[in-house]
Amino acid sequence: MTVDSTQLAALGDATRRTIFELIASRPRSVAEITRELTVSQSAVSQHLKVLRESHLVRAEPKGASNVYHIDPAGLAQMRAWLDRFWSSTLAAYKVAVEQSPEDQT
């Protein structure tokens, strides 16, 4: 899987970002997430479905419910995608800093 508009769109929604951040702090069930938000349990489930389909979270069955965790593989791919931009930005900065003042005129 590569980072695509699905992952970016998933985190583009403020409620999904909040859910993602809650799960990042510790694994949680739908009920636990719902208690932290002002949206219905049904809405939380719909947001979790989008996060699951974009490989940002994964569900682990526990008893009669699921506990949601960050999906390390999906998050690693997003980080690698972002790091690509960071690396090229740092490389350009290094070139600019290492230029002598005479080269900049």
Print pLDDT tens along the chain (105 aa): 456 678 888 999 999 999 999 999 999 999 999 999 999 999 999 999 999 999 999 999 999 999 999 999 999 988 888 888 887 888 888 888 888 666 665
pLDDT of residue 91: 82
Q: Where are the domains of the chain?
A: 5-98
Which CATH code is given to the segment(s) 5-98? Answer: 1.10.10.10
Beta strands, E only, the chain? 28-29, 57-62, 65-70
pTM of the model: 0.79
